[in-house]
Amino acid sequence: MKRIMDCVAVVLFSVLCLMSIPSRGEPDPGSTEASPANPASIQRSEAEEKQVRGDVPNNFPEPEPTSPLSDFENTYNYVLSRLAAMDQAIHKLNVGHYTLDIKVTQLLDGVSRLDGRIGDMEEHMQQVVLYTKDNRKQIGRLEGCQKGRRVGHKCYLVYRSYENYAGANAKCQERGGRMAMPRDRKEQEALADYVKNFFHPGNWPVWLGINDLLTEGQYLFEDMTRVSYFQWRKHFLSSQPDGGKRENCVAMSSDDGDWWDHYCDRNMYYLCEFDA
């Protein structure tokens, strides 16, 4: 509104300036008639020529008078237009919010479905792991009887990989067997012969499934049954067992099949048995 009033003031000022210029046919009182040599007459003639050529308009339009009522109407209409534009913007914002809410809901539904599929996938993976373990046990049992030595209802197989006592026990169970547990003289002699031929001409100790970890001097098999037959090395220089509470796990020597007690964390080869 201030800008409009400034424009009106400029127009009025221009009109007043033009009206103060004397016209061609009405010379100022008291002035002498302009002669051809008079500079004022020359300037007037130039102005008249400009008027004849149309460079200067003969009549200036009179500005329309403004009133406080028209100013109020203009302001009122401007405010209404701004309110309408604001209402349209709010409407667009509401539409966008509604669209975003729908997309968020769809995204949450997709995440929920994906979570359900992940749960199903985890269940399938667990089943695959179980099947893999069962298959590995089946393969281990077949391998033990095909590659190892069969004695009665058992099959024995030596594994040439270094493990401590606990690691050897875990490896035998993963293959569907257990650590070798010779329960009588017949099994002991057959097992000693197999191990001797396997490592010939060398001499390597192998873990058996025998220990006295629970009670010192009371030797048990891995299935927690008591050992009733022993094959300790008997020699005047090194009679076994001689480790006391320090050496609690039993290994078999491959050259003669005698038993020795060792530290359970020692790494050596191990012997597994499987049901035939």
Question: In this structure, what CATH number is given to the domain that contains residue 155?
Answer: 3.10.100.10
Query: Residue 28 falls within a domain, yes or no?
Result: no
Query: Residue 158 falls within a domain, yes or no?
Result: yes
Check whether 16 has a pLDDT greater than 60: no
> Domain range spanning residue 250?
148-275
- Which of these, 252, 249, 245, lies nearest to 261 by C-alpha position? 249
**Res. 155 pLDDT band, cuts 50 70 90:** very high
CA angle 139, 145, 149 (to 5 degrees): 145
Query: Residue 225 falls within a domain, yes or no?
Result: yes
Give the residue, 10 or 148, on which the prediction is more confident.
148
The number of folded domains in the chain is: 1
CB 269 within 8 A of CB 158: yes
For 218-229, the pLDDT digits (tens) are 999 999 999 999
DSSP string, 31-96: PPPPPTT-HHHHHHHHHHHHHHHTSS-SSPPPPPPP-HHHHHHHHHHHHHHHHHHHHHHHHHHHHH
Determine the Cα–Cα distance for residues 256 and 196; give it in Å rounded to an integer: 7
Query: Residue 203 falls within a domain, yes or no?
Result: yes
For 37-64, the pLDDT digits (tens) are 454 444 556 656 655 555 555 555 555 5
CB 172 within 8 A of CB 179: yes
pTM over 0.85: no
For 61-80, the pLDDT digits (tens) are 555 555 666 777 888 788 88
Q: Give the pLDDT confidence score for residue 66 in this predicted structure.
A: 57
Q: Give the pLDDT confidence score for residue 78 in this predicted structure.
A: 84
Q: What is the mean pLDDT of the chain?
A: 81
Query: Residue 251 falls within a domain, yes or no?
Result: yes
Average pLDDT score over residue span 143-159: 92
Determine the Cα–Cα distance for residues 186 and 183; give it in Å rounded to an integer: 8
Q: Give the pLDDT confidence score for residue 45 in this predicted structure.
A: 60
Query: Residue 54 falls within a domain, yes or no?
Result: no
Query: Residue 35 falls within a domain, yes or no?
Result: no
CB 106 within 8 A of CB 139: no
Query: Residue 39 falls within a domain, yes or no?
Result: no
For residue 149, give the H/E element and its range: strand 149-151
Q: Give the pLDDT confidence score for residue 6 in this predicted structure.
A: 52
Q: Give the pLDDT confidence score for residue 166 in this predicted structure.
A: 97
Least confident of 18-27, 53-62, 91-100, 230-239: 18-27
